[in-house]
Amino acid sequence: MEDRFESLIEGLLDDQFASTADFLSPDLVDRLRTNLLTRLHQGQMHPAGIGRAIGFQTNASIRGDLISWLDDAPEDEAEQEFLALVREFMAYLNRTCYTGLNALEFHYAIYGPGSFYKRHKDQFRSDSGRRFSLVSYLNEDWLPIDGGALVLSPEQNGEKVIFPEGGRMVLFKSDEVEHEVLPTVRPRMSITGWLKTVSY
Ligand code: OGA
Ligand code: MN
């Protein structure tokens, strides 16, 4: 486990982002994907907004995904397992990098064919709580012709193209790394979230 965490953190320190294949087990990916599809069929996935509170609006010309938030203390065992892993990673980051993270929020997301998310940063101007973005993909057998790449543009060096292969975990600094999701050909599923520092 710590090896998996360590390889993510090393990339983060060197490049402002990290990407690791097979971070989630195939079994956990299957169970989370089933949950997402159940929520979709029950009408619980909704257009994502841009900004927060007063600035909140939905706009499919900027982002076209449907999302559904995870509970902090979910009943579902796969979600419990996922959040336990993320909390363990957050504690590891705090221990090794003194990051002082103390909160998290995650949602399922699905991009239907043709949808995308234009270039953006994840930190709202009105809310600096989001420190690290974590994206985990839930797709089976993704091919480059399926589109839907995540393109990261770290400040120092070029662009990094990442395909949303099931089990892959991507981590980057929310306030530093601009990124976009290119139009997808197939439905594209993920759990995306943020590690935060909030003052209570
Ligand atoms: C986001 C986002 C990236 C991805 O939800 O803010 O940028 O690869 N997602 O799904
Ligand atoms: Mn984003």
Q: What is the DSSP-derived secondary structure letter of residue 70?
A: P
Q: How far is the CA of 56 from the centre of ligand 2 (A)?
A: 16
- pLDDT (mean) for 4-11: 86
| 55 falls within a domain | no
Residue 24 belongs to domain spanning = 2-49+62-196
Total domains present in the chain: 1
Contact assessment for residue 36 and residue 189, using Cβ atoms and an 8 Å cutoff = yes
pLDDT value for 18: 93
Task: Indicate whether residue 139 lines ligand 1 (CB < 6 A).
Answer: no
Which residues does 61 contact at the CB level (< 8 Å), separation at least 6? 118
The CATH number of residue 70's host domain is 2.60.120.620
Q: Which residue has the tokens 């203390």?
A: 73
| 57 falls within a domain | no
Long-range contacts of 49-53, Cβ-Cβ distance < 8 Å, separation of 24 or more = 51/124, 51/126, 52/124, 52/126, 52/127, 53/126
| 56 falls within a domain | no
| 165 falls within a domain | yes
Q: How far is the CA of 133 from the centre of ligand 2 (A)?
A: 8
Q: What are phi and psi of 139, to 5 degrees?
A: -100, 145
Task: Indicate whether residue 150 lines ligand 1 (CB < 6 A).
Answer: yes
Summarize pLDDT for 62-92 with one digit per residue, the tens. 899 999 999 999 999 999 999 999 999 999 9
| 35 falls within a domain | yes
